[in-house]
Amino acid sequence: MNYRIDNLQYCNWEREIFEINHEAGLNAVHVTVVYHEDFDEFLKRTSEWNKHFEENSDLIFLGKSYKDIEKAKLENKTAIFFGFQNCSPIEDDINLVEKVHEHGCLFMQLTYNNQSLLATGCYEKNDSGVTNFGREAIKEMNRVGIVIDMSHSAEKSTLDAIEISEKPIVITHANPFFWYNAKRNKSNVLLKTLADSGGMLGLSLYAHHLKDSSNCSLESFCEMTAKTADLIGVKNIGIGSDLCLNHPNSVVEWMRNGTWTKTKNYG
Amino acid sequence: MNYRIDNLQYCNWEREIFEINHEAGLNAVHVTVVYHEDFDEFLKRTSEWNKHFEENSDLIFLGKSYKDIEKAKLENKTAIFFGFQNCSPIEDDINLVEKVHEHGCLFMQLTYNNQSLLATGCYEKNDSGVTNFGREAIKEMNRVGIVIDMSHSAEKSTLDAIEISEKPIVITHANPFFWYNAKRNKSNVLLKTLADSGGMLGLSLYAHHLKDSSNCSLESFCEMTAKTADLIGVKNIGIGSDLCLNHPNSVVEWMRNGTWTKTKNYG
């Protein structure tokens, strides 16, 4: 059976968005529930989601395993899979990896754009790779069943994660560097290593990752997709739209800046 | 006037310890109030210290500036200066730098042994230097008046901190690498750069930093001190004993392991 999956969305969630995803025929969406939140703040996000699931049970439900994608298709709904764009909810505590999984987390980026306790982000000047704590966290994520997502990580850190992880990792939302030279896009070497290890790349529709930004043509995007398929095989490719609907600018700024700088600094 | 200062102690604080410091004629002690605590936990530590100050006001008081060292000498007391051995209390929020200063913090290590959000610790395999957030934190520490302590940091991170900081930095507790080859001890290049920028080194009595560990002779320690004075000048040298009295083993394990690993791993 074939499924329609969006590997990354972060919207200002409300019924209207779930209807858009339903009309698009999406069986599954990996949603960002956390950017920079700590563990307690993550729990608040899950409470908000519980309300969404209650009020929109005709459209969505919480996905807990791949079988829920099939279930979603049969029931004409969208399975929602929780993921983090930063590792902040596990704070500095290895035991929180299992706790966040118990609360539905199935994907976690080891870094957002900056250095984290686990690895280096793609906006840092130097990349020291996966840290001591990062090695322990990867082992624990493998054990409990959280997928390692390196979309916002630097190259050496990503190669380290592929090597250390006993399970395939993912880059849910980014494009190839050969098509558009952005810090967030990925080199051929990295993409091949990712694919050889069984991992996947979700191609992104976010303007900053696109050649010609918002003016990117469908033809150009499809050409890039075909070349990427030639490079790493079609089975390793998906779509991670990075759809970001109805958020005010203040939320977009917080995504990029977090609370680590007093001035506007997108890295 | 001359003063007796211990640049680092972390004891299981009680009156007996304050009496020992009083008998030793210490005018000032830089005490570790936090290893891995977050902001709220730091506030709890300050409450515990408030109790110590109330119950032992004949022996100690909270130091807030260098003038309190003179005051301590005149009043025959010990001024207690608060410091952190990790940057965990500022979490991922630049605004907490000013907050921790308001609560008495005058020294902060940018890292303990592992990677932090600010820089790399001396037990990591690779050292990427001061991070994006680290640069902002150093600027803010300079502004509010918190001294940067790189005792547990890796070499490039320390050299970066010296370069970025507009004020001298310190290594409150470590020894020269030329005397004893430990990950925590410091190279000649680093020590010279530190001294040239007006910083200071506190020589440490902690067994793991000593040649011949607990069997280190006084003669050997004094010879090392003389050589270090030849290398960087006597005015840049102090004592940071790393005195760690009356703690159970569980606390020592927590100091080294924090909560980042499920197995015993001292790095």
| More confidently predicted of B144 and B255 | B144
Identify which of A99, A165, A107, A96 has the alpha carbon closest to the alpha carbon of residue A135: A165
CATH class of B5-173+240-257: alpha beta
All residues of chain B having their beta carbon less than 8 Å from the beta carbon of residue A120 are: 128
**Do residues B106 and B147 lie in contact, with contact meaning Cβ atoms separated by under 8 Å?**
yes
Beta-carbon separation of A128 and B115 below 8 A: yes
Mean pLDDT for chain B?
96
Residue A253: pLDDT above 90?
no
Beta-carbon separation of B261 and A92 below 8 A: no
Query: What pLDDT does B1 receive?
Result: 66
Beta-carbon separation of A93 and B132 below 8 A: no
Query: What pLDDT does B265 receive?
Result: 72
How does residue A1 score in pLDDT terms, banded at 50, 70 and 90?
low
Q: Which residues of B touch A (CB under 8 A)?
A: 36, 38, 88, 91-95, 114-117, 120, 123-129, 131-134, 136, 140, 258-262, 265, 267
d(CA A103, CA A64): 10
Output the 3-class SS for chain A.
CCCCEEEEECCCCCHHHHHHHHHCCCCEEEEEEECCCCHHHHHHHHHHHHHHHHHCCCCEEECCCCHHHHHHHHHCCEEEEEEECCCHHHCCECHHHHHHHHCCEEEEECCCCCCCCCCCECCCCCCCCCCHHHHHHHHHHHHHCCEEECCCECHHHHHHHHHHCCCCCEECCCCECCCCCCCCCECHHHHHHHHHCCCEEEECCCHHHCCCHHHCCHHHHHHHHHHHHHHHCHHHEEECCCECCCCCHHHHHHHHHCECCCCCCCC
Give residue for tokens 């606390």: B251
d(CA A174, CA A172): 7
d(CA B191, CA B178): 11
- The string of pLDDT tens digits covering residues B149-207 is 999 999 999 999 999 999 999 999 999 999 999 999 999 999 999 999 999 999 999 99
Beta-carbon separation of A126 and B123 below 8 A: no
- The chain A residue lying nearest B113, using CA atoms, is A132
3-state class of B93 per DSSP? strand
Residue A267: pLDDT above 60?
no
d(CA A123, CA A115): 8
Alpha-helical segments (H) within chain B = 15-23, 39-55, 67-75, 95-102, 132-144, 155-164, 188-196, 218-232, 249-257
Looking at the DSSP bridge assignments, the partners of residue B80 are B29, B62
- Work out the burial of residue A110: count CB atoms within 10 Å of its CB; fewer than 13 is exposed, 13-18 middle, 19 or more buried: buried
- The string of pLDDT tens digits covering residues B8-53 is 999 999 999 999 999 999 999 999 999 999 999 999 999 999 999 9
All residues of chain B having their beta carbon less than 8 Å from the beta carbon of residue A111 are: none
- The string of pLDDT tens digits covering residues A225-239 is 999 999 999 999 999
Distance between A104 CA and the closest CA of chain B, angstroms: 22
- The string of pLDDT tens digits covering residues B57-66 is 999 999 999 9
- The string of pLDDT tens digits covering residues A18-69 is 999 999 999 999 999 999 999 999 999 999 999 999 999 999 999 999 999 9
Identify which of A8, A1, A165, A24 has the alpha carbon closest to the alpha carbon of residue A81: A8
- The string of pLDDT tens digits covering residues A71-110 is 999 999 999 999 999 999 999 999 999 999 999 999 999 9
User: Shortest CB distance from B260 goes to which of A88, A133, A258?
Assistant: A133
Residue A266: pLDDT above 70?
no
- The chain B residue lying nearest A97, using CA atoms, is B260
Looking at the DSSP bridge assignments, the partners of residue B34 are B84
Q: Which residues of A touch B (CB under 8 A)?
A: 36, 38, 88, 91-95, 114-117, 120, 123-129, 131-134, 136, 140, 258-262, 265, 267
Most B CBs within 10 A among A88, A96, A110, A128, hence the mutation to make, goes to: A128
All residues of chain A having their beta carbon less than 8 Å from the beta carbon of residue B91 are: 38
ipTM of the complex: 0.93
Beta-carbon separation of B131 and A115 below 8 A: yes
Query: What pLDDT does B266 receive?
Result: 65
Q: Where in chain B are the domains?
A: 5-173+240-257
Query: What pLDDT does B256 receive?
Result: 86
d(CA B164, CA B132): 12
User: Shortest CB distance from A128 goes to which of B91, B126, B265?
Assistant: B126
Distance between A28 CA and the closest CA of chain B, angstroms: 32
All residues of chain A having their beta carbon less than 8 Å from the beta carbon of residue B128 are: 115, 120, 124-128
**Do residues B7 and B238 lie in contact, with contact meaning Cβ atoms separated by under 8 Å?**
yes
Identify which of B118, B68, B65 has the alpha carbon closest to the alpha carbon of residue B96: B118
- The string of pLDDT tens digits covering residues A110-163 is 999 999 999 999 999 999 999 999 999 999 999 999 999 999 999 999 999 999
Task: Return contacts of B40-46, CB within 8 angstroms, 24+ apart.
Answer: B41/B89, B42/B84, B42/B89, B42/B100, B42/B103, B42/B105, B43/B103, B46/B82, B46/B103, B46/B104
Q: A24-33, A132-141, A164-173, B251-260: lowest mean pLDDT where?
A: B251-260
